[in-house]
């Protein structure tokens, strides 16, 4: 999230400077600068994403960690929704898949 915020900060600075240096009365130019700013923002975000990837130099354990973070997010959403709607079979599904995943991760670490 930090790298994403830095990329947005840099993109907004580029856009702000380009707007300040341009003719503010020219609507067509301002629309073009907005498209330019959005394009710079996307390119910077993807550049920072690649830099973050290179910084992590992801070993197989890093991919596993990212997958587990995603699973924990899904489990939290499903668990809270199941509690709110009183769907107890969903609670059991969350607990069972969490136990299964923990067992598989333990088995992978022992390989």
Task: Summarize the confidence of residues 44-48 as an average pLDDT.
Answer: 90
| pTM for this model (two decimals) | 0.50
Give Cβ neighbours of residue 18 (< 8 Å, ≥ 6 apart): 33, 36, 37
If pLDDT is split at 50, 70 and 90, which confidence band does 97 have? Answer: very high
User: Residue 58 pLDDT more than 70?
Assistant: no
Please write the tens of the pLDDT for every residue from 22-36. 888 888 998 898 889
Cβ atoms of 58 and 36 within 8 Å: the answer is no
């Amino acid at each position: 999230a930090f790298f994403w915020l830095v990329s947005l900060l840099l993109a907004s600075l580029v856009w702000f400077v380009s707007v300040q240096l341009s003719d503010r009365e020219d609507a067509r130019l301002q629309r073009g600068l907005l498209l330019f700013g959005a394009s710079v923002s996307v390119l910077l975000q993807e550049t920072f994403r690649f830099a973050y990837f290179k910084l992590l130099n992801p070993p197989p354990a890093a991919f596993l960690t990212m997958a587990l973070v995603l699973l924990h997010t899904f489990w939290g959403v499903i668990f809270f929704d199941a509690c709110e709607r009183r769907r107890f079979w969903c609670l059991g599904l969350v607990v069972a898949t969490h136990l299964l995943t923990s067992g598989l991760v333990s088995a992978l670490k022992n390989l």
